Amino acid sequence: MMAALKIDNSGNTGRQRKMHPHKFTLWIGIGSILMMFAGLTSAYIVKRNQASWTSFELPKVFWLATGVILVSSLTMFLALRNIRQRQMARYRILLMTTMLLGIAFVLLQTFGFVQLWKNGQTLQSTVSYSFLYIIVGLHALHVVGGVVALVVMFLKIFSTRQRNYSAVPVEVMSTYWHFVDVLWIYLLLFLLMIK
């Protein structure tokens, strides 16, 4: 029976490697977020067929925000690559850049909402605008959560008490960050195509 287990070059037996608990928790969270947004977009489609539904135009600043979050996804990818290569100076710069781009994304979306508000397109004006505020606002909150995690990670880099160069937290953060990026692209396309 022992002879049946194969040993590969890394010294691992033929048994499957277990997923890190943080990664497992992240995937559970991503599944929950996906279900929430699937429910919201489904409700949007149902409500859209009501007579009181009015079409809307997305603020142009949302396109700029889209470019910002796409670039932030690239900087997060590069940050992960650099921590794996133990290029800590580059990792710090890229992590800080991702954090700043995340803040810029949220600020740009806030400017878009201010623009809508000034045009009288408020939460109470129509059901369609209520959905827009809720869907885009909830996504922005998830980005804010990611920015908070990036700030914590960035501050830990300078901690003198703990020198942990594990890539696992960065892998978890990178997966989450790419997820909110892809989620935003989906939501933007959804809101553009199904008005």
The model's pLDDT over 109-139, given as tens digits with 9 standing for 90+, comes to 999 989 988 887 766 667 888 888 899 999 9
Residue 157 is assigned to a structural domain of this protein: yes
Contacts by 49-58, CB closer than 8 A, 24 or more apart: 50/127, 52/126, 52/127, 53/126, 53/127, 53/128, 54/126, 54/128, 54/129, 55/128, 55/195, 56/121, 56/126, 56/128, 56/129, 56/132, 56/195, 58/112, 58/132, 58/188, 58/191, 58/192
The CATH number of the domain holding residue 151 is 1.20.120.80
Bridge partner residues of 7 (DSSP): 13
Chunked into runs of 10 residues, the chain (195 residues) has average pLDDT values of 43 61 86 94 88 82 96 96 91 95 96 87 74 92 95 82 74 95 95 82
**Domain ranges, residue 126:** 58-193
pLDDT at 3: 44
Specify the number of domains making up the chain.
1
104 within some domain: yes
Q: Has residue 28 been placed in a domain?
A: no
Residue 63 lies in a domain: yes
Question: Does a structural domain hold residue 115?
Answer: yes
Quick check: is 33 in a domain? no
Q: What integer pLDDT is reported at residue 4 of this predicted model?
A: 44
Q: Give the whole-angstrom CA distance, residue 56 versus residue 116.
A: 10
| Beta carbons of 41 and 136 less than 8 angstroms apart | no
Task: Evaluate whether residue 24 is within a structural domain.
Answer: no
Does residue 180 form part of some domain?
Answer: yes
Identity of the residue numbered 82: N
Residue 10, pLDDT score? 46
Mean pLDDT score across all residues of the chain: 85
What's the DSSP call for residue 122? -
